[in-house]
């Protein structure tokens, strides 16, 4: 494997790990039944991930302009640190999160754990109009391609394996198509399929 490609893969893995640990891992934490509210806003509001100060003795590594890492640092944070379930109810334990990304999660119980990094990676490529790069592996190994989705490819579960189904449907509304595609990815991909890719 080419040294530069290996270096890029290692960098992406480090970014995924850091982001998961710092911002996204709380989504996977077990819920406690205590009610520990966090104020809707506080004096420690940061506008973007890059605004979050580092601990003493640490420095941000240089990243390439317009890279995934650069894009992540510019991701907006909500001023309201409270976390809600997909049904709009307030999560009981509000002591876990430090900041909340300003990203849509929809109103279905689909976006969890690895789905958060899937959404961010997909949003990054969408922002660059790199639709061919938006592709993820399902747990059965099927590649779920956004470009194919836009051209009418759909995926249906049949005997524990995804079956590719072709339709004559072409999606002109990029954002609606993108969200429908991600719902399918969230159903069939996850931590295991990302780790094995």
DSSP 3-35: HHHHHHHHHHHHHHHHHIIIIIGGGGSPPPS--
pLDDT band for position 169 (cuts 50, 70, 90): confident
pLDDT number for residue 61: 95
Length of the chain in residues, anyone? Answer: 197
What pTM, to 2 d.p., does this model score? 0.74
Task: For residue range 96-150, list pLDDT tens digits in order.
Answer: 888 999 987 777 777 778 888 999 999 999 999 999 999 999 999 999 999 999 9
pLDDT tens-place string over residues 67-87 = 999 999 999 999 999 998 888
């Amino acid at each position: 494997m080419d040294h530069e490609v290996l270096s890029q893969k290692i960098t992406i893995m480090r970014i995924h790990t850091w982001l998961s640990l710092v911002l996204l891992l709380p989504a996977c934490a077990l819920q406690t039944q205590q009610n520990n509210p966090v104020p809707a806003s506080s004096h420690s509001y940061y506008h973007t991930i890059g605004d979050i100060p580092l601990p003493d003795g640490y420095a941000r590594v240089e990243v390439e302009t317009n890279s995934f890492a650069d894009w992540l640092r510019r991701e907006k944070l909500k001023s309201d640190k409270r976390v809600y379930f997909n049904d709009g109810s307030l999560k009981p334990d509000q002591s876990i999160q430090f900041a909340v990304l300003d990203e849509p999660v929809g109103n279905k119980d689909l976006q969890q754990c690895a789905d958060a990094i899937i959404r961010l990676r997909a949003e990054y490529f969408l922002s660059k109009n790199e639709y061919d790069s938006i592709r993820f592996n399902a747990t059965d190994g099927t590649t779920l391609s956004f470009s194919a989705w836009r051209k009418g490819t759909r995926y249906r579960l049949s005997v524990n394996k995804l079956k590719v189904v072709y339709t004559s449907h072409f999606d002109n509304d990029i954002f609606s198509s993108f969200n429908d595609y991600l719902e399918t990815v969230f159903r069939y991909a996850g931590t295991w399929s990302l780790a094995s890719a």
